[in-house]
Homo-oligomer: A and B are copies of this chain.
């Protein structure tokens, strides 16, 4: 068992208050901690990987890098979606080099072992099934897959985590009128950040830093309502509604629509108010935000103790046509700008927590309560017997 020394809370002299705090320095720096996190958290929590619409037909696949692992998500001939480690069972070769594509068979280029979209070993040159090897024992190593209204999640550990649906059915209920099964990817952008992934975890679910740093985001978002929303959050699944200012229908440059309305919203004669539904999984952060005209999915992709990739996806109505129904620049403007600002903030925070005289700092009980909640789950998962 790993015990996290101290720093869970500090007691201030002012009125005997106790503050939740950030983590001790070593948690943001240590490669050994990172390896421990991989097995205890990054392999064990569900993380969003793609939407069903990204692999519509049999043999369609996408590849993602999760906790440094290359993972293939592929649809087989019967329509089932599988996920596999991109590691040939023969010599370990990373056989799939494309980020996405279509294939009826994955053939490792090294010695030409081949596998089906269901992960089964199909052919080994010079070694017919059953002669030297029983093919059924040498299939690709699988990861777990779950689907929630078209969103695909994977988990890499041998044992599957608890199912997603009970939590998401509750927290994502206000998204359902948008019919999230019927969306399509419009844009995806990723950023390599020179910071530990928990610096991003601490940055994202709070808007205490927004007024000074994110003017574009604050132009549509109702900050005080946001503070009220996040207070009291706890657990690995967090409600994540993003309240909008009166008169704003979506997150955009001016609060006006940036694409065709989604699902049931398309049937309304007049849209009178926006939507900021969605939810968050912590600490291995996935955040889905659903507006009336587009859906945003953010995920963190830890690389090593000091580097993290941040990936944002923008989905629109699957009947919307780029250049006609939406303009990619307008659709993505606010969050692309916000992401760039956050990268700089996270890198500045990483520099500071690396100081030998950094100490965990106090989190604001209202404005940073979601950070405290996320770190509580982090501590529980790290403390648990593996």
Interface assignment of A33: CB less than 8 Å from any CB of chain B = no
What's the tally of chain A residues with a CB closer than 8 Å to chain B? 65
- A132 CA / B11 CA spacing, docked (Å): 10
A132: contacting residue among B38, B85, B351, B365, CB under 8 A:
B365
Contact A133:B362 (CB < 8 A) given known A109-B348, A110-B345: yes
- A14 CA / B129 CA spacing, docked (Å): 9
Q: Is the CB–CB distance between A352 and B93 below 8 Å?
A: yes
Contact A357:B202 (CB < 8 A) given known A109-B348, A132-B12: no
**A206 vs chain B, min Cβ distance (A):** 9
Q: Which residues of the other chain, B, contact A353 by a CB distance below 8 angstroms?
A: 87, 91-92
- A131 CA / B257 CA spacing, docked (Å): 42
Task: Pick the interface stretch among A54-62, A207-215, A259-267.
Answer: A207-215
**A123 vs chain B, min Cβ distance (A):** 12
- A94 CA / B13 CA spacing, docked (Å): 26
Interface assignment of A163: CB less than 8 Å from any CB of chain B = no
Mask: chain A, 202-232; 1 = CB below 8 Å from B; 0 = not: 1000001101110000000000000000000
Q: Is the CB–CB distance between A92 and B361 below 8 Å?
A: yes
A85: contacting residue among B22, B355, B362, B364, CB under 8 A:
B355
- A131 CA / B12 CA spacing, docked (Å): 10
Q: Is the CB–CB distance between A209 and B69 below 8 Å?
A: no
> What residue in chain B is nearest A367 (Cβ atoms)?
B126
Q: Is the CB–CB distance between A13 and B365 below 8 Å?
A: no
Interface assignment of A320: CB less than 8 Å from any CB of chain B = no
**A248 vs chain B, min Cβ distance (A):** 23
Contact A111:B209 (CB < 8 A) given known A13-B137, A91-B349: yes
A355: contacting residue among B92, B211, B355, B367, CB under 8 A:
B92
Name A's interface SS: loop
Q: Is the CB–CB distance between A349 and B93 below 8 Å?
A: yes
> What residue in chain B is nearest A354 (Cβ atoms)?
B68
**A207 vs chain B, min Cβ distance (A):** 10
Interface assignment of A86: CB less than 8 Å from any CB of chain B = yes
Contact A110:B348 (CB < 8 A) given known A14-B132, A91-B22, A208-B126: yes
Q: Which residues of the other chain, B, contact A383 by a CB distance below 8 angstroms?
A: none
- A60 CA / B85 CA spacing, docked (Å): 53
**A360 vs chain B, min Cβ distance (A):** 8
Contact A22:B92 (CB < 8 A) given known A112-B212, A208-B126, A352-B87: yes
Q: Is the CB–CB distance between A357 and B85 below 8 Å?
A: yes
A-B contact pairs, 20 of them (CB 8 A): A14-B131, A14-B133, A15-B131, A17-B133, A22-B92, A39-B356, A43-B356, A70-B351, A87-B355, A90-B361, A91-B352, A91-B353, A92-B358, A94-B352, A97-B348, A109-B348, A110-B213, A112-B211, A125-B211, A132-B365
Supplied contacts A43-B356, A87-B353, A132-B364, 20 more A-B pairs, CB within 8 Å: A12-B134, A19-B132, A39-B356, A69-B357, A70-B355, A85-B357, A86-B352, A87-B355, A87-B357, A88-B361, A90-B361, A91-B361, A93-B349, A94-B351, A95-B352, A109-B348, A112-B211, A125-B211, A133-B362, A141-B357
